[in-house]
Amino acid sequence: MKAILMTAAGSPDVLQLREIPLPELPSEHHVRVKLAAAGINPLDTKLRAKPAYYPDKLPTILGCDGAGIIDAIGTAVTRFTVGDAVYFCNGGVGDEPGCYAEYTNVHEDYCAFKPANLSLQESAALPLVLITVWEALIERANLQAKQTILIHAAAGGVGHIAVQLAHHLGAHVAVTVSDDKKAGLVQGLGAEKIINYREQDFVREALVWTADKGVDVVFDTVGGEVFLRSLNAARIGGKVVSLLSTPLSLADTQLARLRNLSLCYELMLTPQVMHMHDERIRQRKILEQGAQLIETGKLGVLVNRMLPLKDAAQAHRLIEQGGVTGKFVLVMD
């Protein structure tokens, strides 16, 4: 089969198209999936540049997100049969092979049936961002109807899903975007307050929007100075949920303490990296609940661009340029 191997840490050039053996099922509980597509996430570019979890296991296959058709099953598999269309988040961080390939193996407990109204290519764009947003907004922030939330980089892969889920939960949604085109996109997804961060101070705009109270929740997908300034955009007793590990100075910590803020961190990879089987089943159930929302029109995914598998390096270059709207996907056919 064809696969993109990451041969070393470094630039996108370390991603090489190679012919490798078809994977054998590693256990009686695994299924083999003929992949139709693999989602590409900014995480992939970071792991390519600096393998964080398994730096000694190279070459490897990147790509956590996949969707395809099951073509072989282990003898103990009960949830699926050959021919089922599934999507999942599995591998791609260096331990198990990822989804930049024509085939991959997945434990049956980590697979979900793909949303019936999405193509396999669209479905492949969803798992990592859907689980990330679900955990951040529902499990970390406990976002409730009529609360206010500020979502940074709202037109991005994570951001545009966050806007939709927050809107579905009944929250009032403010967002930061960089231009009018992205503003129109997120407004159509349910955002009420649009802040162009290149022209406006998002802290001031959030305070004006909430009558100087601050928002109940900030969802930070950017990190750095954006995260630190967000401490002033949250209300006293509010929550700031971040996907990044931004260093806090003593002054930052004192400010957060003075304002009684809850600082929460979200890394949906933790169950995979730390081999937490039950937690990975919980994440699969998120995919199942997400599929129901997608099938009833409550959620959707924006696939900005589909590229052939051989162009994985080019996809990484485009993502590293920044400003990507929605998701990129590698297709196998």
Residue pLDDT, tens place only, 168-200: 999 999 999 999 999 999 999 999 999 999 999
Q: What is the DSSP string of 247-316?
A: ---HHHHHHHHHTTPEEEE--TTHHHHTT-HHHHHHHHHHHHHHHHHHHTTS----EEEEEEGGGHHHHH
Tell me the C-alpha distance between 60 and 57, whole Å: 7
Task: State residue 86's pLDDT score.
Answer: 99
* DSSP-H helix ranges across 26-145: 42-49, 120-123, 127-134
Q: pTM of the entire structure?
A: 0.97
Task: State residue 333's pLDDT score.
Answer: 77
Q: Which residues of the chain have pLDDT under 70?
A: none
What are 21-65's pLDDT values in tens digits?
999 999 999 999 999 999 999 999 999 999 989 988 999 999 999
Tell me the C-alpha distance between 65 and 303, whole Å: 13
Give residue 212's region: left, alpha or beta (phi > 0; psi -120 to 50).
Answer: left
**Radius of gyration of the chain from Cα atoms?**
20
